[in-house]
Structure formats: structure tokens, C-alpha cells
Amino acid sequence: MPRIGNMNLLSEKTFNYHFGNQLRVKKPQGRRRTYLCYKLKLPNETFDKGYFINKKKNHAEIRFINKIRSLNLDQTQSYKITCYITWSPCSYCAGKLVALVKSCPHLSLQIFTSRLYYHWLWKNQAGLRYLWKINIPVLVMKEPDFADCWDNFVNHQSRRFKPWEKLTQYSNSTERRLLRILRINRTDLFLAQSSEQDPGLNDLVDAIKRLFLDAHRPRD
């Protein structure tokens, strides 16, 4: 089977089941696990990529963080990481991701999630807001994001990504839920996504985030 570094590529079945953004899956299939696929890029090349799966008492995000720290990245270089994840980070992992980025000022991180993890819990909502506050945008995966993840991490045998039924509908529903948690509007999210293609928009995105945070900061 084709590999990424020392890991096998995901099978099509694994990808479609675990990255599927349907709110529920039919029984008797088991609970969908956390898969985190990442691309670590220098300005002109991909430096490293791979994926992690959650293990008992060892979340996929923590395994990813340990991997990045083990690389001893060159402090004079600028790196960008794009993550595709099946479940959004829990509050604990959100704090660890923030600590990673704070310790590596040359590193930027963007997360695309298929589904929101226990989104009704206040602590997980706070974790998502904290990530955005520290300039780690968490965005909902749309069809182009699923396709890019498919192209880079799936043993697809040169087959193109085939969207499942209601993919866009499920993405839009999850995005509305995320926006309510973050208490921001679609303009912010559009700008964050657009900055992926146009780095010049980053300053505008940052300005909007500062305005949002100032508007919701407790008054004396």
C-alpha cells in the first residue's frame, strides 16, 4: 500500500466513514474516531505531512503536537501547518495547541474540522474561542477541503474525491453552529478562508478579530 513517510495512506472506506460530516451514522458501525491529517509547509515546499489517530488517553492532537516539537524546527524559517481533523479539538487539546503556537512564533496553524466535538459543552466552546483569539482559526471543512485531504492522505488509486449525499448541507449546518459558538459572522470566516489563497488578507483578518474581541471584552 502507498505510504506517507512511514505510514500507510488511508483507505477510501476509512476516509469516507471517519471524515464523513453526517451528524449520525447507521448502526452497528462504531463511533467515529479522531483522525488528524497535517501538512507542514515552508513558503515554497511541503516540509512534512502525515496523520495521527486518537489512542486511549492520548488524543490525536497531542500526538501531533509531540511530533511537531520533535522536529526541532529552524527558528529562522516560517512554517505553516494545515490540519484536517474529524472532530474539533476538546478544551484540553485547544490549550495545548495554543501553547505550541505560542512557543513557536515562526509557526502558523489553521484547522479544518469535519464535525464539532461535544459542541454543547461550555468548556469545548471556550476552547474554540480561545484558538481563534490566539489566531488559530478553526474552520468547517467544505468540499474543496475534503478533496484536498483526499488527494494528500488517501490511497485513492488516482480517483477523484466523490462528495457524499448532502455534504454541503451538513457543512453549512456545522458552520452555522460554529458561528453561534464563536459569535462572529460569515464575513470573518470568509476572510479567514480567503487568506489561505491570498496572504495579504491576513492583516485584515487580524483586524476583524481584534474588533470582535474588543466588542466582547468585559467592561470595567
As annotated, the active-site residues are 61
The Cα-based distances of 42 to 25, 35, 96, 100 in angstroms read 38, 23, 23, 17
Q: Which long-range contacts (CB under 8 A, 24 or more apart) does 168-171 make?
A: 168/142, 168/143, 170/21, 170/22, 170/23, 171/21, 171/140, 171/141, 171/142, 171/143
Quickly tell me which residue has 492583516 as its cell: 203
- Comparing C-alpha atoms, which of 205, 213, 3 is closest to residue 110? 205
